[in-house]
Structure 1
């Protein structure tokens, strides 16, 4: 790797003992990464042009498998070059198949976040726009990425680029997570775990999980055990970092459990571009991709995005030292505050108050109870004195009537009893 001394490449390591040194007309200079699909090498041709060479783990001896591989790679080569690393060539006839794509110099998003921390402000917005632009271009060519994740986003000098699109599909990697790399599970949509059809909504889900990782440093459904992550993806809401309101709402929609509830990639891109008023009217797909590509690569400063103004005025707290401003009612008497009990006029006020007081006290439960109690006491006293039920009952009735009438007369003279409630 002496020839790379003047131009260090992030993540490049030396070739292993059993690694190939060439792939067709390309010299292999070192390893860029490795995973379940194969090993990615940095390659260089005789003119010094650098490429990424992915030597894939696949047996193409079966004609059907080879035909599917060729078909998917051909579709990937037709993807418009907006925020993507173009697929240049694929070798399917040799003993070791490989795919050659454009080499984008820069760290992967995963490496950047691990080494420098989360992406914030306008840089996060440009990242979201760039990756959404790439997805819109990929889906517009009839290709599904199938493996979008932070390791497949490279932060190039001219903006973020999505790599490895179409290769997972070409390799037939459409099964559930039980046969996938652990690191990918956190970015897989729920339908992947149910063995449902793989389509563009899977990529939209992975896009949202990737942006959430970029903003917070961890996937929205965790990164611990495979089955714990699967359970959260299938059943739990995402755990998102602090995001601008528009982006937060969009990511939550893209992480919907039902693929039918997720917006498509073009809609995601339009909403992102409308956030900064880049797009204010419908645009044809090609123009939309151009605007997204330019926005993602714009060298704008990294400062926080402006927060949208609240839709309704917020109430201001009243200072405890400031005098309250009087308010004039529009009509009718003033209404008492909700936390105070409204005071009603006394029942006995005004002319005829004595009669109203007598009528009110006649039906008062406390007065009736008191009279019954004293009448019972009189009956008990009469029974003790005479040992006969008749005289005792008469004494009790007399006591009840006397007490009841005396209470009514007193109420008429001095007013009703105290409030009880």
Structure 2
């Protein structure tokens, strides 16, 4: 049974090792690959993302993935779960290992604790903006900023899952698919030209979600959501008035109308200066949210209910992932 932090047990198609890492659980999967909870040579835990073989076979993808994922390693660990290791260029499979952070994603936090008050939204937004400043300074653009990619710890949010989306965009150019998440992608990103301002747009969308529980653009299908993003104003129902101005500017259709990260910090400063203990999560987040965060990091929550049982199979992981890809395409 899936666990919010520990994921799902392995099945007989999952590998027992990826590079030097021992695979323990399945944390998640998507169109780009499968993410495993793994143990290093010692006792530390890592999230190891394995890229699907059909993506790795695209022209130029392998070199670009290695370059972008390696560049992501320079971003400060204060703002993200740091990239620890990247697969060798000649490896059969492409993978990246990221330090495992025992903290709830923002979407899980909102689901369990409810929406955040305006102060909590500002606290999360300022932490994300600081992370983006670090990313952009390293000439990286996240391109898939969304609630699921923001881990909320008591010392601030950690933005994860960057360093590979830009490489995936190179593949999408030839496959006519744009890599990202509908509802959080900027108009220029949908059109295939994402840049730093696109991350600011996504930040505004994340602020809407944190404050209201819904994305600013929704619809019955991804196509409907993308069309709304391109041509319709965002749905800001339920958004507190003190957030509306900044969020509305972040969600501007034109990149030049969006605020810079420095302007976001300046606005946050007005709220921070009114807070008695400005750097403590307890000053910004409600007790229900703090309880969820504490539960994720507690020893009882971090202890699996049953010992990990490695699968008996020794089938090559490439064959396993190719089989999964064929099954997904058939569906």
Same fold (TM over 0.5): yes
Q: Residue 205 of structure 1 is aligned with which of 160, 185, 201?
A: 201
Equivalent in the alignment of 2:302: none
Unmatched segments (≥5 aa) in structure 1? 2-7, 280-293, 305-421
Q: If you compute each CA radius of gyration, which structure gives the higher value, 1 or 2?
A: 1
1:179 aligns with 2:177: yes
Within a 5 Å distance, the mapping from 1:106-125 to structure 2 comes to: 106-125=103-122
1:75/1:128 CA distance change after superposition, 3 Å:
same
1:98/1:198 CA distance change after superposition, 3 Å:
same
1:172/1:228 CA distance change after superposition, 3 Å:
closer
1:80/1:258 CA distance change after superposition, 3 Å:
same
Within a 5 Å distance, the mapping from 1:118-267 to structure 2 comes to: 118-172=115-169, 175=172, 179=177, 184-195=181-192, 197-267=193-263
Distance 2:256 2:232 in 1: 18
Distance 1:138 1:299 in 2: 27
Q: Residue 77 of structure 1 is aligned with which of 65, 73, 76?
A: 73
What CA deviation, in whole Å up to 9, does each residue of 1:155-186 have, x standing for no partner?
A: 224321100112111333674897357x8111
1:144/1:255 CA distance change after superposition, 3 Å:
same
Where relative contact order (Cα < 8 A, 6+ residues apart) is larger, the structure is 2
C-alpha deviation, 1:141, in angstroms:
1.1
Q: What count of residue pairs does the alignment treat as equivalent?
A: 282
C-alpha deviation, 1:303, in angstroms:
5.8
C-alpha deviation, 1:225, in angstroms:
1.2
Equivalent in the alignment of 2:301: none
Equivalent in the alignment of 1:64: 60
Residue aligned with 1:100, SS: strand
Distance 1:146 1:12 in 2: 25
Residue aligned with 2:104, SS: coil
Distance 1:233 1:11 in 2: 34
Equivalent in the alignment of 1:13: 8
Q: Residue 39 of structure 1 is aligned with which of 34, 40, 57?
A: 34
Residue aligned with 1:29, SS: strand
Distance 1:125 1:81 in 2: 21
C-alpha deviation, 1:63, in angstroms:
7.4
1:225/1:65 CA distance change after superposition, 3 Å:
closer
List structure 1 runs of 4+ shifted beyond 6 angstroms. none
What CA deviation, in whole Å up to 9, does each residue of 1:126-172 have, x standing for no partner?
A: 21111111111111111000111111111224321100112111333
1:95/1:129 CA distance change after superposition, 3 Å:
same
Equivalent in the alignment of 1:411: none
Q: Greater shift after overlay, 94-103 or 112-121?
A: 112-121
TM-score under structure 1 normalisation?
Answer: 0.61
1:24 aligns with 2:19: yes
- Compute the RMSD of aligned alpha carbons: 2.9
Unmatched segments (≥5 aa) in structure 2? 288-331
C-alpha deviation, 1:193, in angstroms:
2.4
C-alpha deviation, 1:65, in angstroms:
2.8
Residue aligned with 2:49, SS: strand
Contact 1:109–1:150 (Cα < 8 Å) also in 2: yes
1:178/1:118 CA distance change after superposition, 3 Å:
farther
TM-score under structure 2 normalisation?
Answer: 0.76
Q: Residue 47 of structure 2 is aligned with which of 37, 52, 55?
A: 52
C-alpha deviation, 1:205, in angstroms:
0.7
